[in-house]
Structure 1
């Protein structure tokens, strides 16, 4: 083999070792990701839509565990598990009703560098903070989302733990329960991915060349498997490959909503237009083949938006003119805090304290809450409900 070609394998091996070193450094001695964030009583009350007095009263009368012990006269705050328990006790859970259809959202764009996996993980953690039960399915063999959840796809994930045993031509699994892994978040589960998932593309492409029946069966199988799992969750987030392959098509058909992230640059805009045109053609072909595609909503989300860059503002204006209400009004701002968190293989929602300045962190977190809240509102509209009214707002209105 050519020496230069051999070098590619050496580069890959060296890179994988560095990823593992970074992961071990980020996730402490046992190399498992931990969730150490806490919420003060004021923030907890805001998330639950109630007053701080209501929480204190529930702690005093025994409905809730005693308040966390103080450190230097200050409460250290509530863990996510405690927050979830508070929601149940105080009737502040946003969980869907049994007859509501779980939201199965594909986060997709064929243009790389738009922050697809970053949007997916931040959206998952936003929903988690709000109290929803979330399943994230990494369908991309590059496995960026799997990495952000604290797993090294090269060292920690086997092919048998991905979608492969379920979607392969010779499947060894009849449902997807085998692949579900718990994460550091108590209400977020993950189906991970790794490079070997790409073998499904080869197998299904080969099967498709002999006729579309095997391909169609796999499409329907993924949808059925996800629907079976979704009964245990409120929101399912799908992160497909950034290319038009068999897995991407299966994911597009399995989803009941589509979120398209795109950056505010002319190449990203043009690429996204091509993506939407291609999707339109593919969906038509799938429907002709008897494979239904039905979305509750399709929205575009501008990511990595720099409000101080005139070119970004110009491109965003073009997006608004072209896409109208399908473009979500609040973009995700380009922030060093997101980049700094990603370097630690985390999202902003996992940070115990600001990495940059407190002002930068607060601005970034507020923007993410607003941007992700738009998607939460769409999900709740699909259930025939709007966001629950806050107790303080009701009192003030009276």
Structure 2
């Protein structure tokens, strides 16, 4: 993670300056090793890796604004929520402070973050109170919860998020000049000073809440399974977004994304797979938006034992760790690529 050899790590520890966590020594002789918690590993990355670190390493910064990324897709089963979680985890492993916002009433992302949505999350803990009243005390910052994963916080979801789909259009009709598409962007703006990244997970629809997310985001990631229906569904997304946006986009003439990335997921490399054909279609349709990263399909992640985990949660000693590595590595590479897009903006001019 830091690009150091074992000897270099040991040297840094023996310096004993108290800056870097020493971890926990295990084993004896040649088999002796040193283990670190996630929080300790992230400290090493922040302090000694060659990855550019933002001012947020030292705490909230008035002079810094984090970036908002949305994962969006109309078709279910595209690994959208899993991709969101892996992206968030992968970015924290680069030393980032990340907030995920679950905007899907199914609350799958909240479950991945360790919250049993039906029992542990209430509507008051979601973005819904802010949607109803933008003057609510504490704003969205008051809704943030920590998770089991160091460096990763969440604003969870609840089934009652569907209430936003009735409230926002009603307010649009009731109050002249009310910009329903700007509510979430205004609410998230103060949180940019606390997080390097705010990652929005949306439902597979073009709802009012999702339109808010699309207008709040600085960049968009669209996971897509390279199969016929998934490809045509992705094209439908852009047609629908274009049609719906015509009613308000004239007020947002300066709205641009830093990048749009179509990420192929659950790619089947078998001899009967339709992936090669659909990949060619996607290359023609999306051109520079289609990135070279591909996440292969894996039956391992669908097994019951791993149902509420990601490839970043699995220990290297797990019996299926080797199979998961072929899924993990493309995601590690993709997280690095996403991060580097914004490092170019954050790094001070030389």
Q: TM-score, normalized by length of structure 1?
A: 0.78
Could you tell me which runs of 5 or more consecutive residues in structure 1 were left unpaired when the two chains were aligned.
Answer: 1-46, 386-398
Map 1:302-321 to 2 at 5 A.
302-308=264-270, 309-321=272-284
Other-structure match for 1:61? 15
Q: Hey, what does 1:222 align to over in structure 2?
A: 184
Map 1:176-325 onto structure 2 (within 5 A).
176-210=140-174, 213-214=177-178, 216=179, 218-290=180-252, 293-308=255-270, 309-325=272-288
* 8 Å contact kept, 2:100–2:198: yes
Q: Does 1:160 align with 2:124?
A: yes
| Contact 2:21–2:43 (Cα < 8 Å) also in 1 | no
Q: Secondary structure at the match of 1:248?
A: helix
Does structure 1 conserve the Cα–Cα contact (< 8 Å) formed by 2:100 and 2:153? yes
What SS class does the counterpart of residue 116 from structure 2 fall into? Answer: coil
Aligned 8 A contact 2:99 2:153 in 1:
yes
Give the 5 Å matches for 1:1-398.
47-63=1-17, 64-71=20-27, 73-75=31-33, 77-90=35-48, 92=50, 94-97=52-55, 101-168=65-132, 172-210=136-174, 213-214=177-178, 216=179, 218-290=180-252, 293-308=255-270, 309-340=272-303, 343-353=306-316, 357-383=320-346
Change (3 A) 1:285 1:371: same
Output one character per residue of 1:330-366: Cα deviation in whole Å (capped at 9) or x when no partner: 1111112332388441111011246554431222222
The 8 Å contact of residues 107 and 156 in structure 2, kept in 1 or not, is answered as: yes
Q: 5+ residue gaps in structure 2?
A: 56-60
Deviations for 1:124-167, whole angstroms, at most 9, x for unmatched residues? 11111222111101111111100111101110001111001111
CA distance, structure 1, for counterparts of residue 248 and residue 274 of structure 2: 38
Shift of residue 229 of structure 1? 0.6
SS of 1:238's partner is: strand
Give 2:58's aligned residue: none
Q: C-alpha deviations, 1:79-103, integer Å up to 9, x for none?
A: 1111122234436554335656422
Equivalent residues of 1:296, 1:382 under 8 A apart: no
Higher share in strand: 2
Tell me the CA shift for residue 109 of structure 1: 1.0
Work out the CA distance in 1 between the residues paired with 2:76 and 2:277: 21
Please, what is the CA RMSD of the aligned residues? 2.4
Task: Between 89-98 and 144-153, report the one with greater CA deviation.
Answer: 89-98
